Amino acid sequence: MSPLIGFGLVAGFLLASAVMVVRSDNLVHSVLWLSVVLVLTAVVFILLGATFLGGIQIILYTGGVITLMLFGIMLTGKQDTVEIPNPSEGHLAGAGAALAFLVPTLSAIWATDFGPDKGLPPVTAKHIGTAVLGPHLVAFEALSVLLLAAMIGAIVLARRSDPGEGR
């Protein structure tokens, strides 16, 4: 099988899974479909030769973020069952917005010159680590503080609106 056919198959499954994320009427099923999307995104990275990014995609997003989302749903839902409704409305507006995004994206792809390799050296994990822990250290640490603040804010908001508490 040629790489182009394999990429097309993975991209097709990725798009179908992304549609299932927004079309699912159950919030837990939406998160599970999102995990499929994130794994397939890692496969796309690997097919494009970015194995480090593919590995990071699986470790951070599929492993970490999906686990946190499922725990968040289970802990804040206060439901006795796994069935958490996720009604979707505005399918026509969503399809129109997706089409409005698809047109400029496809035109940018067709206008891009995907010529032969320009002879740039490959980027290794050592280069990425040196960049993150060198000139971009402040941005990297600011991102971790921002994520911590978002997590604390979500916990405070979830606890404040707890109907079981008699405040």
Per-residue pLDDT of the chain (167 residues; tens, 9 = 90+): 677 888 889 999 999 999 898 888 888 888 889 899 999 999 999 988 888 888 888 888 887 778 777 777 776 665 555 555 666 677 788 788 889 999 999 999 888 877 666 777 777 888 888 888 888 889 888 888 888 888 888 777 767 655 555 54
CA 94 distance to own-chain centroid: 18
Structural domains in the chain (count): 2
Q: For residue 133, what are the domain limits?
A: 122-167
Distance separating alpha carbons of residues 50 and 66, to the nearest angstrom: 22
Tokens for 149, please give them.
């603040």
82 lies in the same domain as 131: no
Amino acid identity, residue 137? L
Is 52 inside any structural domain? yes
Query: H/E element holding 6?
Result: helix 3-23
Is 110 inside any structural domain? no
Distance separating alpha carbons of residues 94 and 22, to the nearest angstrom: 9
Distance separating alpha carbons of residues 18 and 40, to the nearest angstrom: 10
Is 68 inside any structural domain? yes
User: What pLDDT was estimated at residue 82?
Assistant: 56
Tokens for 138, please give them.
């402040």
Distance separating alpha carbons of residues 159 and 165, to the nearest angstrom: 9
Tokens for 124, please give them.
């290794």
Domain boundary pick from 69, 88, 107 = 88
> What pTM value is reported for the model?
0.61
User: What pLDDT was estimated at residue 167?
Assistant: 47
25 lies in the same domain as 72: yes
Distance separating alpha carbons of residues 58 and 142, to the nearest angstrom: 23
DSSP state of 151: H
